[in-house]
Amino acid sequence: MHQVCHSPNQNHLLAALPDAEFAALSPHLELFPLPLGEMLYEPGRQLHHAYFPTSAVVSLHYVTESGAAAETAGVGNEGMVGVSLFMGGDPTPSSAVVQIAGHAYRLERRRLKQAFDGPGLLPRLLLRYTQALITQLAQTAACNRHHCVEQQLSRWLLLTLDRAPGRELVMTQELVASMLGVRRESVTAAASKLQQLGYIRYRRGHITVLDREGLATRACECYDVVKTELARLLCDVKYRQEGLTGR
């Protein structure tokens, strides 16, 4: 059987660290499996670790007092889960759940705080990522308020696909409806239309994107705004990685 190789460098933020800074941090990074549906933190609970996804995708949710939830942002190998650990907002009213199974490297909160308070590049990278995350949060709020379910679904599928290793997503319509904070019937209608157009194929718990360019024509401008901001982050990270590391 093919053995999957894991490395912290599969996370773009960790990969951008200078060699000396990476060497100091790497002994404290723990490879951690993230199964589908795993809850990394819950509302009102204190976070104990930061997670740097390599192959997993994590969904950040805001949870109301009634228990209803909606996705506010997604995190893949471009970022990290647990920004409140260095932003001073721990605990939070939000939650984080694994949307696509995979792996992440986790770092104990005390180690992250020490690194963030230090003189290295990591603090600047994390703040830059936080700016991109805030853009995603704001755009999601605007999208959910002003755009139709078909546009929201197309935007969500494209952003998730950007973080996923393939074209197929293991995802039920009930879960997608929960992510978007809409009725399941609305997701069913939107998915059916996208399938009729030949952009996606849906079968019991699986969504496959067949025509990415076509799907992009059905998405609102929110996808491009978030994608551009993340691209700016990754461009900056890539520059740092090529200029400051040999890995």
Tens of pLDDT, residues 19-35: 999 999 999 999 999 99
24 and 117 share a domain?
yes
How many structural domains comprise the chain? 2
153 and 114 share a domain?
no
Instruction: Give the per-residue pLDDT at 237.
Output: 64
The pTM assigned to this predicted structure is 0.87
Q: Return the CATH number at 195.
A: 1.10.10.10
117 and 211 share a domain?
no
Tens of pLDDT, residues 49-66: 999 999 999 999 887 777
Note down the domain range covering 53: 8-121
> Is position 129 within any domain?
no
Peptide bond into 8 cis (omega under 30): no
Tens of pLDDT, residues 66-125: 777 788 899 999 999 999 999 877 777 788 999 888 999 999 999 999 999 988 899 989
> Is position 128 within any domain?
no
Q: Which of residues 33 and 177 earns the better pLDDT score?
A: 33
* CB neighbour burial string for 223-244, b if at least 16 within 10 angstroms, e if fewer: bebbbebbeebbebbeebbeeb
12 and 113 share a domain?
yes
30 and 116 share a domain?
yes
Instruction: Give the per-residue pLDDT at 43.
Output: 83
13 and 116 share a domain?
yes
Q: Return the CATH number at 47.
A: 2.60.120.10
Instruction: Give the per-residue pLDDT at 236.
Output: 66
